[in-house]
Amino acid sequence: MYDWIHITSNYEQQGYSLEQVMGNAMVTGEYKNYISNTKWLNGKVTNVSSGRALHISANDKGLLTIKVCPPKFIHGNNVQEATLEETLNLFSMLSNMVGYDLGDTSLVKSIDVTHTALTDFKPVAYYPYLCNQQGENRWTLNSTLYYGDKNSKTKQKKFYDKVKETKKNGGKQDIPEKYKGQNMTRFEVGLGTNAQISKIIGGGDIPVLGHLFTMENVEKLHHYWQEEYNAIPKLTELDTNFKKGMKQKGVQDEIINSALSAYGRLNIEEAINHAADMGALSYSAKSRTLKKMLKPFEDGATKHDLIMELDKKIFGFEPKWE
């Protein structure tokens, strides 16, 4: 469920020194920021069984930072998920290493919530039926489909090919035997600020590490992940249906709808966006044109069979506790 966790805490408030919290880590570098007059120690902690490391750093002002991909650290790959119990045990180990409980003292700076679906086809086959979402930019880069703000990672979601991703950078990850030969479509929602996480968890508390492991908050974050998928428009299929007595306008509307469906909802959206970019439409005219031309889809379209399959797999996931 959690593919990335970034936390920070103040070790001085817990009564510890820089040397104590970094004493059991392998220090890989030391540098000083002469503008702020701050000394930093950078280090890593390695899991001998998986061969993977996590990054830990601290400065002489009391700030401790830990960044980790739990599945990679625990299993050596993030094709398979780390259970919540395994992830909690990882942070218990790190708490023992630095000398104090990270669960109650560490702010969650960012998290990635994710699952990987074993799909009938490669991820790119589903992209034409995942349409533009209002208020979000939609773009593809290196076979990854993104939704969000290109200039900000405060909240960003993406679909990508997990098989292809494991082969990047020299193929440092091994695909477990049971997943070999499978099509793996990952849907990931990244939350890049503590404030963004707070909006989802609610309750008025500033999210700390321990909040990620309560049943209530796990369910909230999992539900949010599903709702972010659900918010993407997917009604793309319009059937032609001539009925007795529908008359000229009805027949014309059916033919127009058939043409719209054949051209494709996503192509219609992109054409209107392109027209606006070329100055052919004002912002308000673009909005009206989109609303008018997409109305047949909103009123009577269904989902493509590929999306029906993907829906079933996305909504079939449950958090793995053990």
Alpha-helical runs (H) found in the chain: 18-21, 70-75, 84-98, 102-105, 162-166, 194-201, 215-230, 247-263, 265-277, 283-300, 305-314
pTM of the entire predicted model:
0.91
pLDDT score at 171: 60
CA dihedral 239, 241, 246, 249 (to 10 degrees): 30
**Interatomic CA distance for residues 305 and 282, integer angstroms:** 36
**Interatomic CA distance for residues 92 and 70, integer angstroms:** 13
Residue 319 backbone phi and psi in degrees, to 5: -60, 140
pLDDT score at 169: 59
pLDDT score at 175: 81
pLDDT score at 172: 65
DSSP code of 303? Answer: E
pLDDT score at 290: 94
Per domain, the residue ranges of the chain are 2-230, 235-303
pLDDT score at 149: 86
**Interatomic CA distance for residues 296 and 287, integer angstroms:** 15
Residue 222 backbone phi and psi in degrees, to 5: -65, -45
| Crossing angle (nearest 10°) for helices 215-230 and 194-201 | 100
- Which pLDDT tens digits describe the chain residue by residue (322 residues)? 999 999 999 999 999 999 999 999 999 999 888 888 899 999 999 999 888 999 999 999 999 999 999 999 999 988 889 999 999 999 999 999 999 999 999 999 999 999 999 999 999 999 999 999 998 999 999 899 999 987 777 889 999 999 888 877 566 677 888 888 899 999 999 999 999 999 999 877 789 999 999 999 999 999 999 999 999 999 999 988 888 888 898 899 889 988 999 999 999 999 999 999 999 999 899 999 999 999 999 999 999 999 999 999 999 999 999 9
